[in-house]
Amino acid sequence: MKFNISHLTKYKYASEIADSVNEIRLTPRTNTHQTCLQSRITTSPQAPIYTYEDYFKNLVYSFSVADPHTLLTIHSESIVVTSNEEPVIKSVLTGAQELEELASERFLDDYAEYLHPSEYTPITPDISQMASQFEASHTFASLADKLTALTAQIKNDFTYDPSATQVQTKIDEMIQLRRGVCQDFAHLMIALCRTMGIPARYVSGYQYITDINGGNADFEQASHAWVEAYIPGVGWTGFDPTNNVPINWRYIILAYGRDYKDIVPVKGIYHGTPQQKLDVIVDVRQIN
């Protein structure tokens, strides 16, 4: 499916600010799931843009605005084609083979960074307890089954609530509240996977939502976050613990990382007042 994406970020400052330095991770990736046909980023005030690929192969745009200004807008526009194939989550190795692979020295080395706790996905007593309860509650024939069940359970046990948490919320707080947003759901699942020895990474992107008739929705589309876990023999496989639906043509991938900290879509630091107002307008439209 082909999409036209427009992601507009506006910062309005209470008084003139200067020396703003920024980093943007808003360019869709190209991989087996999707192809990014076009992409561009424009800023106002206009600024020369420096790009590079980070450790996780995300394309990063960086720019600075030295002169005083009170308004900063960053507009990212892209055209992406996603694969129409419905994903099938199925292991190819036997459960025993999978476990053997997960425990092998080579595997532990190859996926080391996705098995290690990170700032947003620490392995806390709460997490360890949740993981062992989950593992004790069922027997799973394969890793694919286990991850599918885990996704369903998180969706079931937690409530989506945009007012419950902030961007800095760590998973322990989310577990206490039993609610959160997609970022918290993703961090929780990543931490649980890693505790169980399954490599997991954070995915940022968009989820295309249609109205009842299947047309372009006129309500605001929001950025989304989900998880990819590594199934030996299969590879990185997507799961959405917020919605518990398959990662299909509706999902558009922007960036990968160990956790949110690696993929922050817009970062910036400047000289001047901390008082500012942020507006984000995301529009994802299906095109022919």
Site for other proteins contains 19 (CB under 8 A): yes
The token pair at 206 is 């968009």
Among 37, 92, 152, 269, binds other proteins (CB under 8 A): 269
Shorter beta-carbon distance to other proteins: residue 138 or 271? 271
Site for other proteins contains 264 (CB under 8 A): yes
Shorter beta-carbon distance to other proteins: residue 168 or 176? 168
Site for other proteins contains 71 (CB under 8 A): no
Among 28, 180, 199, 265, binds other proteins (CB under 8 A): 265
Supply the minimum distance, in Å, between the C-beta of residue 98 and other proteins: 20
Residue listed under structure tokens 């709460």: 126
Among 12, 15, 18, 235, binds other proteins (CB under 8 A): 18
Residue listed under structure tokens 């308004």: 71
What is the biggest distance separating any 2 CA atoms in the chain, rounded to whole angstroms? 62
Site for other proteins contains 57 (CB under 8 A): no
Q: How far apart are the first and last CA of the chain?
A: 8
3-class secondary structure per residue, 29-88: CCCCCEEEEEEEEEEECCCCCEEEECCCCCEEEEEEECCCEEEEEEEEEEEEEECCCCCC
Supply the minimum distance, in Å, between the C-beta of residue 56 and other proteins: 8
Site for other proteins contains 160 (CB under 8 A): no
Among 71, 92, 103, 108, binds other proteins (CB under 8 A): 108
Q: What is the dihedral of CA 248, 79, 207, 286, to 10 degrees?
A: -80
Among 36, 144, 266, 284, binds other proteins (CB under 8 A): 266
Site for other proteins contains 113 (CB under 8 A): yes
Q: Which span sits near other proteins by CB under 8 A: 95-103, 206-214, 241-249, 273-281?
A: 273-281
Q: What's the rounded Cα separation, in Å, for the pair 155 and 188?
A: 11
Site for other proteins contains 193 (CB under 8 A): no
CB atoms within 10 A of CB 81: 17
Shorter beta-carbon distance to other proteins: residue 53 or 86? 53
Supply the minimum distance, in Å, between the C-beta of residue 249 and other proteins: 28
Shorter beta-carbon distance to other proteins: residue 136 or 278? 278
- Answer for the pair 204, 265: CB distance below 8 angstroms, yes or no: yes
Q: What's the rounded Cα separation, in Å, for the pair 183 and 255?
A: 13
Q: What's the rounded Cα separation, in Å, for the pair 206 and 168?
A: 20
Site for other proteins contains 3 (CB under 8 A): no
Q: Which residues have C-beta within 8 Å of that of residue 270, sequence separation ≥ 6?
A: 17, 18, 19, 20, 21
- Answer for the pair 180, 165: CB distance below 8 angstroms, yes or no: yes
Q: Which residues have C-beta within 8 Å of that of residue 173, sequence separation ≥ 6?
A: 165
Task: Provide the binding-site residues for other proteins, judged by CB under 8 A.
Answer: 11, 17-19, 21-23, 47-48, 50, 52, 54-56, 62-64, 66, 105, 108-110, 112-113, 116, 167, 262, 264-274, 276, 278
